[in-house]
Chains A and B, each alone.
Chain A
């Protein structure tokens, strides 16, 4: 089990230090801070064993969150717990997680650390739940004396649906559903797809009364094959192949395993219902075609053609195409019909930004690069061209939501809102 949890800044100073088991000394930790964090060696491996103590850590911007242990812990759990801990902190600090807010709220962090872990064993680390009984500055005294309320809280915390309290009431029942897909692509110099996948996420915001049971359906091929065909229905949509699905803890896994049905009692408010991964039949929204020429000893030319492959009535937004240039670039002249391209030395590249990009459209950028003289004789190792974009109302995987049914004893019919968006993940083209 975990011996201690420590928050450390990039200089190796301890910001928060909570011991759970006294088999560890502070000096072991300070040694880690001095030797590993302050020297940036922690970037080299997340799990380090020094003299029988394992240091398991993650790095969030400048902050190292560390768990120490002397035993053979479940390290996958430990790492996930550390990430969850950061998530909890962010939920309390309005999304922030940096040295300032840790210093400002350290008392609250200690209080949370006491609750999320006991004797090195993770306990309750759900931010929404924690917020119900741990608040900065203490809870209201009325609550502390209300036996019924307290009972409800503890039974929720340890109960089978710990994510949802009883007796929620909304005047208007609504569900918002966002399908967000990130496309990851790596294309070779010649433009063949080396690998491509879609990492999708379905985000929900439930403003629902009572204890609703939801059933969610999408055009999952495996599910659709199971369904009996209704007479007269056209079966153009055969569904898509989903490689893997991961669910929020509210989803009943055995039921999914048996019937491939996604049923759940949702938490109140916003949460991520599921994530999924798809590698087959991906519709890539953009194609990049670069041409690289060395015009002379100190002159390069890079031409990038970009083509959108989606319907005309849709738009790509906030495109940013990053074309890498050598370190010793002195001057770049660019020429394009659409958007703005600029050399940004701190990024070591030319960034071509286009606010709005229509479907089924081609655009070209030409960059002429003048190189300064350099003593470095090594050839330039060309990083790939990358692109950022968003395409609303488009899914690269072809995923569609088919239904979302809500059953509640009171029998209300909620309003449902559905959005789709596809974003670039790591969308790379080798140069």
Chain B
């Protein structure tokens, strides 16, 4: 319940004064002695709070009522305080005494628990300290109700002040609660430990045969929610051998008969995981089959639809891993007329998986029924499922095709379109087998609004140009609007007409001629144009070869595109019942906290280099703080071409200031004038001192290596960021990776902004990274930096370091640990991909063509909005090892330049470049999509920086 925006609270003057009057009235009521009037007032306040109104100004008046003996009033006051404590920490301190008093109340355990529960919700660091004593007492409270509340409270306070909780040994006390005699206390302790474990990133709940036994015992006595925490904890355990796994399964499997679906799915989670540890196939089978009936029950009519949905999502995973669990019971996956759409779609998914040669007749019969329903999305998916069955089951394909044939005859627009799309796949899988439906297909040419359906139809015509007599007329009709069609339709027209010409040269001659002309001259899409060029050339050199190429054998398709790869599947099986299983994604891909923990774990590994003891307890909590100070070109995301403009401007500004300093004026750069004067001045003032400092290393260490683009320094460590031990701050570091001939170097600028400390003994170590970068030596050659001083150093980088499997992110940063005599600092140094270009040209023209036709490359069109002289552009790219491979001109004289670079790890990056006076059009090809924005950024750097 945050403060509402200003606009809602002060829409007009009169309402504001009325509002003020209301506030006054509430204040008066709260200050009266009568409980009823207080209660009414606070009800009104809570009501306003619920509606999102800001009632924080009443805090002092409300808080006064904390010490009431009326429990109902007290609860309301607490509710209010929880809500506003965070934004009013000073006032929240007022509440502490009341909590401390209530937590020690002798008679009423509910009152003690309420105080413990509520004070944990006041997430103000200042207050945590005062709450530790009562909390410690409550852990030992004689009443289990208070203890179970205390267990959760520890996890709450850990989130606010982790150091304090650890220092005070509360985590140890929490662990001890696992030995509590009360099952609910144990269950809550398990849950709290798991919460702490997740935010801490290290194991808190030690799972061993001893604790497992405790959890299993607690599970028998606690309530249904407690059973779920126990099961979810057990699911994390790795059994020592098959025997242990079997013993645990024996204790867990009775839970399948619980009426809480959460319990059932959590039990399935353990069973699915532990079955992998069993050896005896018969035991595995028996245990697996125990899950069948309980899973199906989750789908029975009258079950809540949302729960059915989760169950279906999980069944989909379970049957992929162990199909035996649901083999026969296909009927439960038949759609009910009144099922919500999200259930129907999931059921189709399961049906497609369950389809086999024995049940296909029955399934098809149902699917045909569905194609007559009203919901378009459902009908389309039903049609698609028929197609999937055809591709999956060769023996049943004919039946499926017959069913689709019937769909075609319905003449219902979306049914027909979807049918055509799946028939295309069937034709691909079983070439020349089902030609009998071609006639009916060709009767539906008019209604094809959906581009995919249209493209599919055209593909089919192209494939059967020899059978379809009037293929030439049909294709001529499609070609009429060629220019207005979407890209995928255009492509299919081109391919189909090509096939027509190759098979029936007389009928297709004119058509192909016109089409190639249009495609090469009037089309904007480079892919299409390229294809047209290639066809044209093939036809003019060797038509027979062209035939071979166009009618080449295609890789077969299968239904496996819908299956999940094993590694992900196992991860999802571990997450049965959790959100992860519903999203079919690994948890870290949608939980930010997990990603943060993973990142800090990576940082842990860096520590190994340095003194371990020194780093044990003082890790920076939040890396974002350290990055906060940065303001550099890398941080902008490169999503769209339009976004880049501002960034480029920024670069241009830097470039300008750089030019002024280095006196490297270049006449061919008209953009210099475009920068508004004001903008130009501000950065200049900031940049000049920096640039001056930058000059010495350039002059002393690399006098002959000015040809590579110079990446500007970026602030990577701000003055306000403390070191890992929080002992010291005041060190500022700016850094930039540079290409220097065939070497990669890291320039560092270290500034000491402390009053009295001297930094020395610098060292640097990189975290694992995708390109295996590491410094040649950990020590940095640098003089001690005295207060107020700045030193600039350079380190050489090699590519023999450990590799990280993570693909590079945008912006690409390398995490480093930076050692000094006083503390260790962690930060990220951004890097331009251009630094990683290999200095030797290894890609030949031949290789370029091969690569550009490879299927698995990521391709993207980009536009770089800069103005640059073409000659200068070529020069700059070449100088930075982006090598020109070939040049060709189209009929209008537009020059298409092909460039390629090799990364230090051997990956090839390709770009087709068209230079125009106002912008540069890029067609980029990279082996991995994550490299796309990085390459775009790198080219931007090369062309705009000096």
Give A residues with C-beta under 8 Å from B: 1, 14-17, 19-22, 25-27, 30, 43-47, 49, 52, 54, 56-58, 69-81, 83, 106-107, 110-111, 114, 118-119, 121-126, 133, 137-139, 144-145, 147, 150-151, 153-155, 157-160, 162, 182, 184, 186, 194-195, 197, 199, 243-249, 253-254, 256-257, 272, 274-275, 277, 378, 381, 383-384, 425-426, 428, 430
* Contact of B529 with A by CB under 8 A: no
* Contact of B332 with A by CB under 8 A: yes
B182 — nearest CB in chain A belongs to which residue?
A: A158
Q: In the docked arrangement, what's the CA distance between A244 and B295, Å?
A: 9
Q: In the docked arrangement, what's the CA distance between A68 and B926, Å?
A: 39
B48-73 residues with Cβ-Cβ distance < 8 A to A are 49-52, 70-72
B337 touches A384 (CB 8 A): yes
Q: Which residues of B contact A124 (CB under 8 A)?
A: 223
Interface stretch of the complex, out of B577-585, B737-745, B936-944? B577-585
Q: In the docked arrangement, what's the CA distance between A71 and B56, Å?
A: 29
Interchain Cβ contacts under 8 Å between A and B, 15 examples: A14-B51, A43-B341, A52-B591, A74-B578, A75-B581, A110-B76, A111-B72, A114-B117, A118-B149, A119-B121, A144-B108, A154-B145, A249-B258, A383-B337, A426-B337
A73 touches B296 (CB 8 A): no
Across the interface, A158 reaches (CB within 8 A) one of B184, B301, B341, namely B184
Q: In the docked arrangement, what's the CA distance between A246 and B300, Å?
A: 12
Given A49-B590, A138-B71, A158-B185, A246-B258 contact (CB < 8 Å): yes
B46 touches A14 (CB 8 A): no
Q: In the docked arrangement, what's the CA distance between A425 and B336, Å?
A: 12
Across the interface, A79 reaches (CB within 8 A) one of B143, B304, B332, namely B304
A-B pairs with the 3 shortest C-beta distances? A77-B262, A154-B145, A244-B293
Label chain A's interface by main secondary structure: mixed
B230 to chain A, nearest CB (A): 12
A114 — nearest CB in chain B belongs to which residue?
A: B75
Across the interface, B152 reaches (CB within 8 A) one of A47, A106, A118, A247, namely A118
Give B residues with C-beta under 8 Å from A: 1-2, 43, 46-47, 49-52, 70-72, 75-76, 79, 82-83, 86, 107-110, 114, 117, 120-121, 123, 143-146, 148-149, 152-153, 155-156, 159, 182-185, 188, 191, 195, 198, 220-225, 228-229, 232, 251, 253-255, 257-262, 264-266, 293-294, 296-297, 300-302, 304-307, 309-311, 331-332, 334, 336-338, 340-342, 366, 369, 372-374, 412, 575, 577-583, 587, 590-594
B55 to chain A, nearest CB (A): 13
Most buried by A among B50, B143, B198, B336: B50
B225 touches A426 (CB 8 A): no
Q: In the docked arrangement, what's the CA distance between A22 and B123, Å?
A: 8
Q: In the docked arrangement, what's the CA distance between A110 and B575, Å?
A: 32
B57 to chain A, nearest CB (A): 18
B83 touches A19 (CB 8 A): yes
Number of residue pairs spanning A and B whose beta carbons lie under 8 angstroms apart: 273
B578 touches A75 (CB 8 A): yes
Q: Which residues of A contact B49 (CB under 8 A)?
A: 17
Most buried by B among A69, A153, A182, A244: A244
Across the interface, A26 reaches (CB within 8 A) one of B52, B229, B265, namely B52
Q: Which residues of B contact A20 (CB under 8 A)?
A: 121
A77 touches B1 (CB 8 A): no
Q: Which residues of B contact A257 (CB under 8 A)?
A: 253-254, 257
Across the interface, B265 reaches (CB within 8 A) one of A43, A76, A277, A383, namely A76
A275 touches B577 (CB 8 A): no
Across the interface, A133 reaches (CB within 8 A) one of B46, B110, B117, namely B110
Q: In the docked arrangement, what's the CA distance between A144 and B592, Å?
A: 44
B302 touches A199 (CB 8 A): yes
A277 touches B293 (CB 8 A): yes
B303 — nearest CB in chain A belongs to which residue?
A: A199
B257 touches A247 (CB 8 A): yes
A194 touches B338 (CB 8 A): no
Q: In the docked arrangement, what's the CA distance between A83 and B259, Å?
A: 13
A246 touches B257 (CB 8 A): yes
A138 to chain B, nearest CB (A): 4
B302 touches A79 (CB 8 A): no
Q: In the docked arrangement, what's the CA distance between A43 and B342, Å?
A: 9
Q: In the docked arrangement, what's the CA distance between A257 and B589, Å?
A: 39
A183 — nearest CB in chain B belongs to which residue?
A: B301
Known: A119-B155, A186-B334, A247-B257. 4 other contacts (CB 8 A): A22-B123, A58-B304, A76-B262, A246-B259
Q: In the docked arrangement, what's the CA distance between A184 and B338, Å?
A: 13
Q: Which residues of A contact B47 (CB under 8 A)?
A: 106
A72 to chain B, nearest CB (A): 4
Q: Which residues of A contact B293 (CB under 8 A)?
A: 243-244, 277
Across the interface, B72 reaches (CB within 8 A) one of A81, A137, A153, A428, namely A137
A147 touches B107 (CB 8 A): yes
A249 touches B592 (CB 8 A): no
B677 to chain A, nearest CB (A): 40
Q: Which residues of B contact A384 (CB under 8 A)?
A: 337
A161 to chain B, nearest CB (A): 9
Q: In the docked arrangement, what's the CA distance between A160 and B144, Å?
A: 12
Q: In the docked arrangement, what's the CA distance between A118 and B225, Å?
A: 12
Q: In the docked arrangement, what's the CA distance between A378 and B123, Å?
A: 61
Q: Which residues of B contact A246 (CB under 8 A)?
A: 257-259, 294, 297
A121 to chain B, nearest CB (A): 5
A109 — nearest CB in chain B belongs to which residue?
A: B50
A253 — nearest CB in chain B belongs to which residue?
A: B254
Q: In the docked arrangement, what's the CA distance between A164 and B590, Å?
A: 42
Q: In the docked arrangement, what's the CA distance between A137 and B36, Å?
A: 10
A72 touches B221 (CB 8 A): no
Q: Which residues of B contact A26 (CB under 8 A)?
A: 1-2, 52
A184 touches B310 (CB 8 A): no
Q: In the docked arrangement, what's the CA distance between A25 and B188, Å?
A: 26
A428 — nearest CB in chain B belongs to which residue?
A: B337
Q: Which residues of B contact A155 (CB under 8 A)?
A: 143-145
Across the interface, A74 reaches (CB within 8 A) one of B107, B228, B311, B590, namely B228
A52 touches B592 (CB 8 A): yes
Given A111-B75, A246-B297, A425-B302 contact (CB < 8 Å): yes
A152 to chain B, nearest CB (A): 11
Q: Which residues of B contact A145 (CB under 8 A)?
A: 107-108
Q: Which residues of B contact A248 (CB under 8 A)?
A: 259
B302 touches A47 (CB 8 A): no
A254 touches B220 (CB 8 A): yes
B577 touches A74 (CB 8 A): yes
Q: In the docked arrangement, what's the CA distance between A303 and B369, Å?
A: 22
Q: In the docked arrangement, what's the CA distance between A275 and B198, Å?
A: 36
Q: Which residues of B contact A54 (CB under 8 A)?
A: 579, 590
Q: Which residues of A contact B342 (CB under 8 A)?
A: 44-46
Given A114-B79, A154-B110, A30-B52 contact (CB < 8 Å): yes
